[in-house]
């Protein structure tokens, strides 16, 4: 965890439920966040660029737009980075840079309709109210393709039944459903409709998948959350004095729908299906459980893998890249069982 | 609101989301609640009565049982009581004695399997750790039929991703899905399998629907939450200086699935369909929204009604009963529109 800027994983002990409560939802920031929330009365959202008219919306204007509430699992682009076989640059996330919440807000398409977009529009750029670091003038500006913006992106002002907390972007954040956190700009203040993707440090140098010696800007932009599952209990490294072990976790696949989770306790030779144990909503993770009857005490590695509804299977290990994004490799979960 | 025992509605301003956050979820208690949470290490759940063997389960035993997470709307049996045309006895609830949460726990059937129920078993009695009032020795004991217990009742230890809060029954409460709060005993400590329904004050004198002069014990027991909708915005009595009004609310029907919500602004002469705006999970309310284009300034009454998937329609007014239970009549929502 870092304090300035605020970066904190959710401890695995708090990743046991379908809903991740606001207080312990992971936080990932590039800059120090503002000390006090913005004043709702004076806050405005500017919409400019390739639009028929530049407009400014007040918070009351946002509330007057049709509302949508959606369950969406949000993951940091670098979640799982520290578990890669070879070290990669960036925050050393293990598995807790992910959480699931019910987000309330408006469809971005409904918002853009108010400004009217021109036929030249291809991308939607987002800028928030983050204060740039004193030593830096690099703003956190990100853009997403127009198609994603119109199809499945919301601007959220509620999180799990509460106003969006300050650390999560009060009063409004972008939420490209199923995409990583980097695509979901917080403290949103400005939307610019673009002909080309936005440029700058956070578009061209990071949040791209590239190899050593390659130009970052040539790498693919990190978008959808890859298909994977985490094991949330028992804890990695645990010693278990029982012969029945409830293995539990959460599986998610960004824009893909998780169809199956399997568990192996024999190094991947055989796989057994887990049961789903919670709600099933598009864009939200699915909680699962596997009842493991242990016949012989010993050291085991628990593996779990997810399959989506197009029969894509999570890989044993993810392709390495310089900045360690998209690690959806299967994590070996070592436990020691001492049957009573 | 009363402090001792703690009874508090959720303010309508906090009833705007599909999830009702734990901090503001309504509270209804018969007795003062304990000052400090029970110690998890020493807590036990006793299962006795018509069982093959009397057992005591620890909290670790509960955690080792297959888990289920379910969205469930919980309503106080007396919610809406104060809105009845004729005064009824009891706490003067308006519309805020209801909320929706994701509950994590175990199926009651899985728990009872551990004790084994006899062929004489017909009802399941619940007793919690509430301290009886000093002046009273009347314990809050409730029972539900075995069929409901085995089919769709859980024992919950999590609420919206957090351990069940003290005020909501830490560490474990019964949750008869789709049934009113009275059927969902908190601080659960004892389950008794019965041949007949439990008896006593909270079974025979209250939580029954009866008329003046009738024996309470002859009235029907309050079970499923009746089909209804609440309007959560605009607020009742509001003055609105705009010609487009977003009418929003939540509709629920206990064990029934809400299929349609309609809104009328002409005293019920015509009804227009509302749009659903949030997740759709069995046992959970459905959020809805109706965009009302006002053409003439004036005084209006907004009405909303729910229809379930068996074409049952919420009544204009509910049948009165002495204790004011199950008020699912349509509430007239008066607003004044002063078009700008």
- Listed ranges A126-130, A277-281, B128-132; the one with the highest mean pLDDT: A277-281
Nearest partner of A207 among A144, A123, A133, A136, judged by Cα = A144
d(CA B74, CA B186): 13
Angstrom distances, CA of residue A97 to CA of A20, A73, A80, A321: 11, 11, 8, 18
How far is the alpha carbon of B40 from chain A, nearest alpha carbon, in Å? 16
Query: Is residue B131 very low, low, confident or very high in pLDDT (cuts 50, 70, 90)?
Result: low
Query: Is residue A32 very low, low, confident or very high in pLDDT (cuts 50, 70, 90)?
Result: confident
Q: For the purposes of burial, counting CB atoms within 10 Å of the CB of B246, is it exposed (0-12), middle (13-18) or buried (19 or more)? A: middle
Instruction: Tell me which chain B residue has its CA closest to the CA of residue A274.
Output: B66
Task: Retrieve residue B213's tokens.
Answer: 């002069």
Instruction: Tell me which chain B residue has its CA closest to the CA of residue A15.
Output: B161
pLDDT, residue A64, reads 95
Instruction: Tell me which chain B residue has its CA closest to the CA of residue A246.
Output: B64
pLDDT, residue B300, reads 97
Nearest partner of B109 among B77, B138, B67, B151, judged by Cα = B151
Instruction: Count CB neighbours of B63 within 10 A.
Output: 15
Which residues fall within 8 angstroms of residue B80, CB to CB, at 6 or more apart? B93, B94, B95, B97, B228, B318, B324, B327, B328, B329, B331
Rounded to 5 degrees, what angle do the CA atoms B302, B83, B202 make? 140
d(CA A91, CA B166): 36
Query: Is residue B304 very low, low, confident or very high in pLDDT (cuts 50, 70, 90)?
Result: very high
Instruction: Count CB neighbours of B213 within 10 A.
Output: 6
| Cβ separation A67–B277 shorter than 8 A | yes
Comparing A288-292, B82-86, B241-245, the range with the smallest average pLDDT is: B82-86
pLDDT, residue A84, reads 80
- The arithmetic mean of pLDDT across residues A9-19, rounded, is 90
Nearest partner of A26 among A100, A97, A112, judged by Cα = A97
Task: Retrieve residue A311's tokens.
Answer: 């029969």
Query: Is residue B136 very low, low, confident or very high in pLDDT (cuts 50, 70, 90)?
Result: low
What residues does A2 pair with on adjacent strands? A7
Nearest partner of B4 among B164, B181, B133, B169, judged by Cα = B133
User: Quick one: what percent of chain B has pLDDT higher than 90?
Assistant: 78
How far is the alpha carbon of B96 from chain A, nearest alpha carbon, in Å? 15
- The arithmetic mean of pLDDT across residues A268-297, rounded, is 97
Q: In what order do the strands lie in the sheet with A239-240?
A: A239-240, A333-337, A298-308, A258-264, A272-273
Strands A173-176 and A188-194: unpaired
pLDDT, residue A334, reads 95
Backbone dihedral region for residue B194 (phi beyond 0: left; psi -120 to 50: alpha; all else: beta): beta
Instruction: Give the position of tokens 């003439």.
Output: B296
B104, B242, B287 member nearest A17 (Cβ): B104
pLDDT, residue B6, reads 76
d(CA B176, CA B147): 11
| Cβ separation B158–A64 shorter than 8 A | no
d(CA B163, CA B172): 9
What residues does B231 pair with on adjacent strands? B249
CB B278 within 8 A of CB B9: no
Contacts across the A-B interface (CB distance below 8 Å)? 104
pLDDT digits (tens, 9 = 90+) for B1-56: 566 677 788 888 889 999 999 999 988 877 777 778 899 999 999 999 999 999 99
Question: With contacts defined as CB-CB under 8 Å, which chain A residues touch B281?
Answer: 279, 281
pLDDT digits (tens, 9 = 90+) for A208-252: 999 999 999 999 999 999 999 999 999 999 999 989 999 999 999
Nearest partner of A202 among A126, A92, A151, A93, judged by Cα = A126
Strands A239-240 and A333-337: parallel
Question: With contacts defined as CB-CB under 8 Å, which chain B residues touch A247?
Answer: none
Where in chain A is CATH 2.60.40.650?
228-337
A244, A281, A287 member nearest B64 (Cβ): A244
Task: Retrieve residue A48's tokens.
Answer: 């400019």
Instruction: Count CB neighbours of A311 within 10 A.
Output: 8
pLDDT, residue A136, reads 63
User: Quick one: what percent of chain B has pLDDT higher than 70?
Assistant: 97
B19, B69, B160 member nearest A277 (Cβ): B69
pLDDT averaged over chain A? 93
What residues does A145 pair with on adjacent strands? A123
3-state helix, strand, coil in chain A (%, to 5): 10, 35, 50
d(CA A129, CA A40): 13
pLDDT digits (tens, 9 = 90+) for A148-167: 999 999 999 999 999 999 99
pLDDT over threshold 80, residue B174: yes
HSE-up of B48 (CA within 13 Å, CB side)? 8
pLDDT, residue B91, reads 81
pLDDT digits (tens, 9 = 90+) for A106-141: 999 999 999 999 999 999 999 998 765 555 677 889
How far is the alpha carbon of A286 from chain B, nearest alpha carbon, in Å? 10
Comparing A287-296, A319-328, B28-37, B214-223, the range with the smallest average pLDDT is: B28-37
Task: Retrieve residue A133's tokens.
Answer: 């670091």
pTM comes to 0.94
Nearest partner of B5 among B131, B128, B96, B114, judged by Cα = B131
pLDDT, residue B13, reads 83
User: Quick one: what percent of chain A has pLDDT higher than 90?
Assistant: 78
- DSSP code for A270: S
pLDDT, residue A340, reads 64
CB A163 within 8 A of CB A112: no
Choice between B307 and B136, residue whose per-residue pLDDT is larger: B307
Angstrom distances, CA of residue A319 to CA of A81, A98, A330: 11, 20, 12
Q: For the purposes of burial, counting CB atoms within 10 Å of the CB of A340, is it exposed (0-12), middle (13-18) or buried (19 or more)? A: exposed
Strands B123-128 and B141-145: antiparallel
d(CA A60, CA A89): 42
Specify the CATH architecture of the domain B7-221.
Answer: Alpha-Beta Complex (3.90)
Q: Is the dihedral of CA B112, B113, B116, B117 positive or negative?
A: positive
| Cβ separation A279–B66 shorter than 8 A | no
Q: For chain A, first and last CA: distance in Å?
A: 38
- The arithmetic mean of pLDDT across residues A310-332, rounded, is 92
Instruction: Tell me which chain B residue has its CA closest to the CA of residue A249.
Output: B67
Q: Is the dihedral of CA A106, A110, A114, A116 positive or negative?
A: positive
d(CA B283, CA B152): 10
Choice between B304 and B77, residue whose per-residue pLDDT is larger: B304
B113 has a chain A CB within 8 A of its CB:
no
pLDDT, residue A31, reads 72
| Cβ separation A160–B160 shorter than 8 A | yes
pLDDT, residue A37, reads 87
Choice between A3 and B216, residue whose per-residue pLDDT is larger: B216
A18 has a chain B CB within 8 A of its CB:
yes
| Cβ separation A66–B291 shorter than 8 A | yes
Where in chain B is CATH 3.90.420.10?
7-221
Which CATH code of 1.10.8.80, 2.60.120.10, 2.60.40.650, 3.40.30.10 fits the domain covering A228-337? Answer: 2.60.40.650
CB A50 within 8 A of CB A194: yes
pLDDT over threshold 70, residue A14: yes
Nearest partner of A303 among A318, A321, A315, A311, judged by Cα = A315
pLDDT averaged over chain B? 92
pLDDT digits (tens, 9 = 90+) for B263-279: 999 999 999 999 999 99
Comparing A110-124, B278-292, B326-340, the range with the smallest average pLDDT is: B326-340
| Cβ separation B66–A161 shorter than 8 A | no
pLDDT over threshold 90, residue B100: yes
Choice between A144 and A6, residue whose per-residue pLDDT is larger: A144
Phi, psi of B113 (to 5 degrees): -55, -30
pLDDT, residue A194, reads 98
Query: Is residue A80 very low, low, confident or very high in pLDDT (cuts 50, 70, 90)?
Result: confident
- The arithmetic mean of pLDDT across residues A64-88, rounded, is 91
Question: With contacts defined as CB-CB under 8 Å, which chain A residues touch B25?
Answer: none
pLDDT, residue B78, reads 87
């Amino acid at each position: 965890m870092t304090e300035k800027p605020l970066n904190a994983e959710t401890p695995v002990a708090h990743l046991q439920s379908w809903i991740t409560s606001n207080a312990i939802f992971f936080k990932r920031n590039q800059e120090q966040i503002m000390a006090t929330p913005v004043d709702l009365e004076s806050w405005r959202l500017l919409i400019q660029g390739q639009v028929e008219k530049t407009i400014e919306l007040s918070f009351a204007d946002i509330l007057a737009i049709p509302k949508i509430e959606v369950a969406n699992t949000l993951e940091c682009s670098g979640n799982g980075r520290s578990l890669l076989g070879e070290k990669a640059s960036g925050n050393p996330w293990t598995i807790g840079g992910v959480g699931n919440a019910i987000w309330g807000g408006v469809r971005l398409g409904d918002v853009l309709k108010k400004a009217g977009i021109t036929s030249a529009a291809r991308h939607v750029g987002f800028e928030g109210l983050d204060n740039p670091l004193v030593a830096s003038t690099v703003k956190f500006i990100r853009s997403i393709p127009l198609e994603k913006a119109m199809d499945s992106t919301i601007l959220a002002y509620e999180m799990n039944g509460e106003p969006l907390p300050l650390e999560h972007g009060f009063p409004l954040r972008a939420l490209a459903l199923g995409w990583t956190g980097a695509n979901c700009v917080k403290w949103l203040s400005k939307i610019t409709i673009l002909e080309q993707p936005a440029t700058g440090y956070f578009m061209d140098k990071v949040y791209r998948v590239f190899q050593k010696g390659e130009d970052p800007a040539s790498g693919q932009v990190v978008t959808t959350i890859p298909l994977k599952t985490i094991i949330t209990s028992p804890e990695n490294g645990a010693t278990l004095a029982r012969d029945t072990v409830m293995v539990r976790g959460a599986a998610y696949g960004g824009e893909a729908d998780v169809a199956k989770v399997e568990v192996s306790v024999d190094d991947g030779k055989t796989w057994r299906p887990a049961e789903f144990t919670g709600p099933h909503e598009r864009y939200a993770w699915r909680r699962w459980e596997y009842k493991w009857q242990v016949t012989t005490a010993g050291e085991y590695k628990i593996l779990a893998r997810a399959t989506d509804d197009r029969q894509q299977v999570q890989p044993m290990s993810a392709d390495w890249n310089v900045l360690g994004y998209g690690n959806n490799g299967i994590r070996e979960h070592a436990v020691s069982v001492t049957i009573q």
